[in-house]
Amino acid sequence: MAVLDVLDQIKRGYIRDMVKQNKRIDNRAFDEYRKVEVEQGMITSAEGSARARIGKSEVLVGVKIGVGSPFPDRPSEGILMTNAEFLPLASSTFESGPPREDSIELARVVDRGIRSANAVDIASLSLGEDEEGRPKVWITFLDIYVIDHDGNLQDAAGLAAMSAILNTQLPKYEDGQIVREEKTGPLPSKATALSCTFGKIADKIILDPCYAEEVSLDSKLTIATVKDHICACQKSGGGGLSRAELDYCMDLALKKGEELRGKLKA
């Protein structure tokens, strides 16, 4: 632990010095993403799936569809459950065991963007009442699997999640049973929500921090957008963020969000 701390300190100093000289460790511009790739439908046992790669970061998302009882205060709404697993094989810093706060935060921020934008339109996922008159709804399980970690897992997870949602086909529901072999149509989605994550180092803002940059950040900001609108934000990390910096990030997130949406097959 102590050895790692020293290495982190050295790395941190190196990265900070570079950023102060307007350079990045991988020669990118401050507002440039690494190579972004998305593919869909690789998991046939899932109702929808997608894999996103941002640089060397890789995240797989599987969507499973179930049927259950709605929340009592929203009887006509479907349920969306988002969970993230940081697989131990993805990084030496990931351990098996109960979810860490990082993975909980990642899943909750992905969920916030999707929910706010109705990217899964839960309002149209009611199945009416069963024979005993109890309300039934579709449950969408969105499981985020982090396969390889080189920073900015948030955007990779958001991209894979959104792509997996667009890839999802609802199964048939007949006599209170799911018939998984038969599909009835796509999972209803009203918007394509995607996030852009920024890091602040030495009073400079960089887009899409890689792992080495991520451990050097003072603070981090994720902004999820739909066309022309912002649908979720999360600042994390100990440092502060000025209003001018926030303003810059919002502008860039709206612009880069459009570019990312171009990568998705609707």
Binding footprint of other proteins on the chain (CB under 8 A): 1-2, 5, 9, 73-74, 76-77, 101, 104-105, 107-108, 112, 115-118, 122-123, 218-219, 221, 226, 228-243, 246-247, 250-251, 254
Distance (Å, rounded) from C-alpha 166 to C-alpha 124? 16
Q: Round to whole Å and give the CA distance between 38 and 161.
A: 10
CA distance 75 to 242: 42
Residue 202, token pair as written in the block: 């030495």
Nearest to other proteins of 107, 212 (CB atom): 107
The residue among 77 and 213 lying less far from other proteins, judged by its C-beta, is: 77
102 versus 148: smaller Cβ distance to other proteins = 102
Report the nearest approach of other proteins to the CB of residue 243 (Å): 7
- Min dist CB 26 to other proteins, Å, is 27
C-alpha pair distances (Å), 120 with each of 3, 47, 149, 259, 264: 45, 14, 27, 21, 16
- The residue (of 1 and 266) whose beta carbon lies closer to other proteins is 1
How many CB atoms are located within 10 Å of the residue 140 CB? Answer: 24
Q: How far is the CB of 56 from other proteins (least distance, A)?
A: 26
| SS3 (DSSP) at 167 | helix
CB of 19 to other proteins, least distance (A): 17
